Each structure stands twice: as C-alpha cells, then as structure tokens.
Amino acid sequence: MSLEDLHLNLRNLTSDDYEQLKSLMDAVYHDIGGAWPKHTIDKLIQEFPDGQIAIEDDGVLVGVALTVQVDYDEFSNPHKYDDLIGHREIILNDPEGDAMYGLDVLIHPDYRGYRLGRRLYEAATPLLVHFRARSWAVDGDIECLPQRAHSNE
C-alpha cells in the first residue's frame, strides 16, 4: 500500500468509535491487556473531547492520540504513568490543569511508516496554545513551551 492509496481523515474521536478503537488497542496492546473499557474512553471524550484525535482511512480507524489535562506542578516532577491512569480504568483529567499529557499514540501495525503518529502529534500541538498550557508531556517527558505560547497572539 502506498501513501497515494490512503484516504486519510483527521478528526476528533467519538463514543461511536469505541468498537474500532477497541480493535485497534487490542491489536497494538495485545501483550499488555488490550483496550481500555468503553466507560474509560467515554469519560475521556466527555471531559476533554479536543484532546482525543483520530485518523481514519476510508472510514476505518487506523490511528489515535489520547490526551488529558493535568496540573503541571504534580506531573512535571518524577511520576509513574500509573499515577495518571489510576487502576487502568480511571484516567485522571483535570479540566483546570495547566499542562497537557499525551497518554497514548496508537497506529495500526499495517499503517506504520506513513508518519501518522507525527500527524497526530502535530494535530494536538495547537491545543497547547488554545488551552494556554504551560507544558506538554509525552511518554513522561515534560516539554516546556516558549513564553510566546502563553501570549494572546
């Protein structure tokens, strides 16, 4: 399959996507328990819909980025991923949080190599300015934003 064969659409994830998301998460995370439960994903979508981004090819979900808002002071210090996801069914999203935390970026194994993860990351980046976030944490690493991101420009 070449890049020209793909019919990609970037959009926000919805609750109706759960069955496809479950299949995607089960394929990617088969060795660590597979998909999160539907109520967990629904809570993410309800609490921070802008942070849940999907890529589909001809209507089939092939990539997802899941993001939450967190308190910078709490999550800029050393912490474990489990501090954020609780008991794997409750993901802590702080609507008053001043930082964003990238929980997951998943790409279907058949679609790797097309830079879809980069597209998802780039789609999430404008949220930092929109929500006036102090930082962006991905894989537990905190990336501080330039002061300009906090301006009204």
What pLDDT, in 10s, does the model give residues 3-59?
677 889 999 999 999 999 999 999 998 887 788 899 989 999 999 999 999 999 999
Confidence of residue 148 (pLDDT cuts 50, 70, 90): very low
Other CB atoms within a 10 A radius of the CB of residue 129 amount to 14
Question: Is 14 in contact with 46 (CB distance < 8 Å)?
Answer: no
Checking if the pLDDT of 71 tops 80, the result is no
Whole-number pLDDT of residue 77: 62
Q: Name residues whose C-beta falls within 8 Å of residue 110's C-beta, 6 or more positions apart in sequence.
A: 1, 62
Helices 38-47 and 18-28 cross at an angle (nearest 10°) of 110
Vertex 89: Cα angle to 48 and 30 (nearest 5): 105
Confidence of residue 136 (pLDDT cuts 50, 70, 90): low
Whole-number pLDDT of residue 104: 84
Q: Which residue has the higher pLDDT, 151 or 112?
A: 112
69: which 2 tokens?
């808002």
